[in-house]
Amino acid sequence: MFVITRLICRRIHGTSDVTVPKLSGFSILSPKHVEVEYADDTKFKFSSEFLRVNSPAADGKIRSIGGDKVISGRRYVGIMSAEPVGNYGVRLVFDDLHRTGIYPWDYFYELGSNKFNLMRNYIKTLQKHRLSREPPPRRK
**Residue 93 falls within a domain, yes or no?**
yes
Classify burial at 52, counting beta carbons within 10 Å of its beta carbon; exposed 0-12, middle 13-18, buried 19 or more.
buried
Sheet strands side by side (includes 89-94): 79-85, 89-94, 102-104
Distance CA 52, CA 56 (A): 9
Higher-confidence position of 82 and 1:
82
Instruction: Give the number of domains in the chain.
Output: 1
In a domain, 54, yes or no: yes
Q: Compute the half-sphere exposure of residue 79: CA atoms within 13 Å on the CB side of its CA.
A: 25
Does residue 58 belong to any structural domain of this protein? Answer: yes
Instruction: Give residues with Cβ within 8 angstroms of 68, minimum separation 6.
Output: 1, 125, 128, 129
The per-residue pLDDT for range 75-104, each reduced to its tens digit, is: 899 999 999 998 889 999 999 888 888 999
pLDDT tens string 46-55: 999 999 999 8
Would residue 9 count as lying in a domain? no
The confidence band for 29, taking pLDDT boundaries of 50, 70 and 90, is very high
Mean pLDDT of 132-139: 85
Query: Residue 34: which CATH number?
Result: 3.30.2020.30
Helix/strand/coil for 25: strand
In a domain, 89, yes or no: yes
117 within domain boundaries: yes
C-beta atoms surrounding 109 within 10 Å: 21
pLDDT for position 47: 96
Q: Of the candidates 43, 5, 6, 4, which has an alpha carbon nearest to the alpha carbon of residue 23?
A: 43
Domain housing 121 = 24-129
